[in-house]
Amino acid sequence: MSLGSVPLKYKISIDRDQCMKCMRCVDNCSYGVYRIEDDKILIDSRKCTACHRCISMCPRDAINLQEKPVDYRSHPLWTAEAREDVINQARTGKIILAGMGNARDYPIIFDRLVLDACQVTNPSIDPLREPMELRTYIGKKPAKLEFTKNNGDVELKTKLAPNLKLDTPIMIGHMSYGAISLNAQLSLAKAVAKTGTFMGTGEGGMHESIYPYQNHTIVQIASGRFGVDINYLERGAAIEIKVGQGAKPGIGGHLPGEKVCSDVSCTRMIPLGSDAISPAPHHDIYSIEDLAQLVRSLKEATNWEKPVFVKIAAVHNVAAIAAGIARSDADAVVVDGFKGGTGAAPKVFRDNVGIPIEAAIAAVDEKLNEQGIRNKVSLIASGGIRNSADITKSIALGADAVYIGTASLIALGCRVCGNCYRGLCPWGIATQKQELVDRIDPEIGSENVANLINAWTLEISELMGAAGLNSIESLRGNRERLRGYMLDQGLLDVLKIESVGA
């Protein structure tokens, strides 16, 4: 017996009085929702992903989208999603693939944290007329500084480890060429060059278009070693070993062959159309000692001139893992929370595995401090960071800087429709179809992303000034500037913050 079809997720309608049949909706929808028949625009709502491209491009605001126009009998346990997943898997027997970040309605800890502000006795600082120091250095810091005196001059004796110099604590996380388009990646690269910060290449090699911005890129090495050779390592300002990812902790990456076009095959150094499989483990890493060997081999290959980051997913024992990484000679630990985005992940992982970044960062910072090794690594938070308040709170919980991912894509047009894995992104982001890729102008895209980074940097300055701080150094790990609102005592203990009113 057939399982039949499930109700529409979205219902598209056109106000025919407004519509002037300009056909922009037909041209813009890469999912095939619209077609022309007998001079009439027909709609197949079942194909809609709510990407909003048609709505954004309609000059007459004639298109309307309604979510879940038909639903099942309501039930608190057997939600529509639960039922539809069962139907899908009963029909196919396969793993459900999903895009973007965790789509479950977990409480957002960031929204239960409130920042402090100065009042009468301790004046706030006005960033309009006072210098605010947001410059951030990522890398090892010496436990102490030693100097030598030479005929009255003082010289630094301590040898400093290589650090990345950021003008803002905001970086763009790793999204590979392959997962996203070249124009999307180019927009991000131009944006970080404009704003004095860095972006990650992801595990996809580096396309030659990115070479002019290589001093602002962090190259990634993952288990598949795609696109990795000595030239690639030397091009990056820093190197990141990807061990885990917040959207899919414990599993690897898999770029399907459909996305491996000629340019992608060239940067990844794999045959055209072949799958790019990055298994979960690095097969030369089975211990912290092995990780240390990979960290050192990367440093050795690049003459000990580049910081090496290690990225892990936020999981239950993340603090102990990070402490091990800090001892592996790595210069920074990237902790990616379970609301982090992805081009594709098994839905069951995306929505159920890992822990929130807020708790992970606090736990890691605490553990590194307890062990007296916090100076050995910088701490980068990522995974579900939506605004400058999330960034400020992350830093107050102990992060040195953050990676943003989805937010930077939204600045390029992304509407978080979650269909990245299909390769049909109508905004030209998660696709390799040239006609779609061309929808992004890297100059305009970079302006939008740079605007976002600049706006958030201004807001962070204002939040710091309001709290009486004029240096990001004074905000870092400053939990006194945070209070928990409606959080249980257990979580307050993990975050090492007090409750509101305390």
Residue 92 sits in the site that holds other proteins (CB under 8 A): yes
Residue 304 sits in the site that holds other proteins (CB under 8 A): yes
Quick one: which of 158, 297, 317, 352 contacts other proteins (CB under 8 A)? 297
| Choice between 250 and 279, CB closer to other proteins | 279
Q: How far is the CB of 20 from other proteins (least distance, A)?
A: 34
| Choice between 119 and 303, CB closer to other proteins | 303
How far apart CA 175 and CA 167 sit, in angstroms, is 21
For the chain, first and last CA: distance in Å?
62
Site for other proteins in 19-48 (CB under 8 A): none
Quick one: which of 422, 439, 476, 483 contacts other proteins (CB under 8 A)? 422
Q: How far is the CB of 183 from other proteins (least distance, A)?
A: 24
| Choice between 175 and 255, CB closer to other proteins | 255
Residue 296 sits in the site that holds other proteins (CB under 8 A): yes
Number of residues lying near other proteins (CB under 8 A): 44
Three-state secondary-structure class, residue 20 = coil
Contact 286, 293 (CB under 8 A): no
Residue 387 sits in the site that holds other proteins (CB under 8 A): no
Site for other proteins in 72-91 (CB under 8 A): 88-89
How far apart CA 217 and CA 175 sit, in angstroms, is 12
Residue 488 sits in the site that holds other proteins (CB under 8 A): no
Distances (CA, A) of 284 to 222, 294, 297: 11, 8, 12
Distances (CA, A) of 274 to 21, 222, 228, 256: 41, 18, 17, 7
Which residues are paired to 155 by β-bridges?
148
Question: How does strand 153-156 pair with strand 147-150?
Answer: antiparallel
Q: Which residue has the tokens 């024992």?
A: 317
How far apart CA 254 and CA 242 sit, in angstroms, is 14
How far apart CA 335 and CA 67 sit, in angstroms, is 34
Contact 384, 421 (CB under 8 A): no
* 210's tokens: 């990115």
| Choice between 183 and 223, CB closer to other proteins | 223
Site for other proteins in 155-184 (CB under 8 A): none
Q: How far is the CB of 154 from other proteins (least distance, A)?
A: 29
Within 135-221, residue ranges assigned H as helices are 182-195
Residue 124, number of CB atoms within 10 A of its CB: 16
Q: How far is the CB of 94 from other proteins (least distance, A)?
A: 4
How far apart CA 308 and CA 245 sit, in angstroms, is 17
Residues 454, 108, 346, CA angle at the centre, nearest 5°? 95
Residue 94 sits in the site that holds other proteins (CB under 8 A): yes
> With CB under 8 A as the contact rule, which of the stretches 66-74, 118-126, 181-189, 228-236 interacts with other proteins?
228-236
Q: How far is the CB of 300 from other proteins (least distance, A)?
A: 4
Residue 347 sits in the site that holds other proteins (CB under 8 A): yes
Residue 346 sits in the site that holds other proteins (CB under 8 A): yes
Residue 67 sits in the site that holds other proteins (CB under 8 A): no
Quick one: which of 19, 96, 108, 416 contacts other proteins (CB under 8 A)? 96
For CA atoms 229, 212, 267, 427, give the dihedral sign: positive
Quick one: which of 216, 254, 259, 476 contacts other proteins (CB under 8 A)? 254
Residue by residue, DSSP assigns 434-491 as HHHHTT--HHHHHHHHHHHHHHHHHHHHHHHHHTT--BHHHHTT-GGGEEESS--HHH
How far apart CA 198 and CA 239 sit, in angstroms, is 12
Q: How far is the CB of 152 from other proteins (least distance, A)?
A: 34
Site for other proteins in 264-283 (CB under 8 A): 265, 269-271, 273-275, 277, 279, 283
Q: Which of 404, 30, 421 is nearest to 198 (CA)?
A: 404
Residues 6+ apart with CB under 8 A from 108: 339, 356, 384
| Choice between 57 and 301, CB closer to other proteins | 301
| Choice between 194 and 225, CB closer to other proteins | 225
Residue 3 sits in the site that holds other proteins (CB under 8 A): no
> With CB under 8 A as the contact rule, which of the stretches 251-259, 358-366, 435-443, 454-462 interacts with other proteins?
251-259
Quick one: which of 50, 115, 233, 315 contacts other proteins (CB under 8 A)? 233
Give Cα 418 to chain centroid, integer Å. 14
Residue 59 sits in the site that holds other proteins (CB under 8 A): no
Residue 95 sits in the site that holds other proteins (CB under 8 A): yes
Residue 348 sits in the site that holds other proteins (CB under 8 A): no
| Choice between 206 and 482, CB closer to other proteins | 206
How far apart CA 429 and CA 444 sit, in angstroms, is 14
Q: For binding to other proteins (CB under 8 A), which residues are involved?
A: 88-89, 92, 94-99, 223-225, 228-230, 233, 254, 256-257, 265, 269-271, 273-275, 277, 279, 283-284, 293, 296-297, 300-304, 346-347, 418-419, 421-422
